[in-house]
Amino acid sequence: MTHYSPTHLFGTQERRTSNSISYILPTCGRSTLERAIKSIKTDNTDEIIIVGDGPQPSAEEICRRYNLCYLETEPNHCSGNAQRNMAMSIAKCEFLAFLDDDDIYLPNASRTIKERIVNSKINLFRIYFDNRMELVLWENKSVRLGNITSQMIVIPNTKGRIGAWPEFGRQEYVYSGDFYFLQDSYQKWGKDSIIWHDKIIAKRNA
């Protein structure tokens, strides 16, 4: 099931530019969704797309209040992978960024991203991986399991050059889908397509 806000419905064919970002948030109905949305500081070129894992009435109501795009997939409990894939298929901004409904961006994160993102590159920022802010990922400049999460990825929205999150299988642990998405994208972009940014932009499971 797909629900569009009025602005999204009437603008679906328009491609936004000028470092615009589609922020994609899968949700399973956590009460922290609104906090995650508020941590994203958008301007009038950006969009936020919320995708429910099955019907999420509270998320739909929040999107109605904030005039955001709201989508639903069939319930699949696949760590947000199907939801991210659906959102990417309709995203219209120049870049794609990802946040979960229990994460937050740090203050000034949106500005930091826009000041540093490089076109034609897969941009990887750093995040606090634990709530105590003791473990920071990425740890080193290595595309490997355990070092990659969706919250650090900002990727050009170039059709045909974006990987897909695995919706079935290939799930050795909960964040393995993020690694496989990046690996698939990296293979499409080619050698030297990743740029590693030292700036910390988000906190996971805040």
CATH of the domain at 176: 3.90.550.10
Provide the number of structural domains found in the chain: 1
Q: Is the dihedral of CA 135, 136, 141, 144 positive or negative?
A: positive
DSSP codes, 151-168: GGEEEE--TTS-----SS
Cβ neighbors of 189 (< 8 A, separation 6 or more) are 121, 122, 161
Note the pLDDT of residue 206. 76
Query: Domain span at residue 110?
Result: 2-203
Q: pLDDT tens-digit profile of 146-193?
A: 999 999 999 999 989 999 998 865 455 557 899 999 999 999 998 899
Q: Is the pLDDT of residue 8 over 60?
A: no
Residue ranges of alpha helices (H) inside 39-193 are 57-66, 81-90, 109-116, 176-189
What is the predicted pLDDT for the residue at 15?
55
Reported as a single tens digit per residue, the pLDDT across 97-148 is 999 999 999 999 999 999 999 999 999 999 999 877 789 999 999 999 999 9
| Cα–Cα distance measured from residue 92 to residue 178, given in angstroms and rounded to the nearest whole number | 21
**Which uninterrupted H or E stretch holds 124?**
strand 122-128
Alpha carbons 73 and 86: distance in angstroms, whole number = 8
Please give the pLDDT value at position 26. Answer: 96
Residue 16 has pLDDT above 90, yes or no: no
d(CA 200, CA 106): 8
Of the candidates 101, 102, 133, the residue with the CA atom closest to the CA atom of residue 200: 133
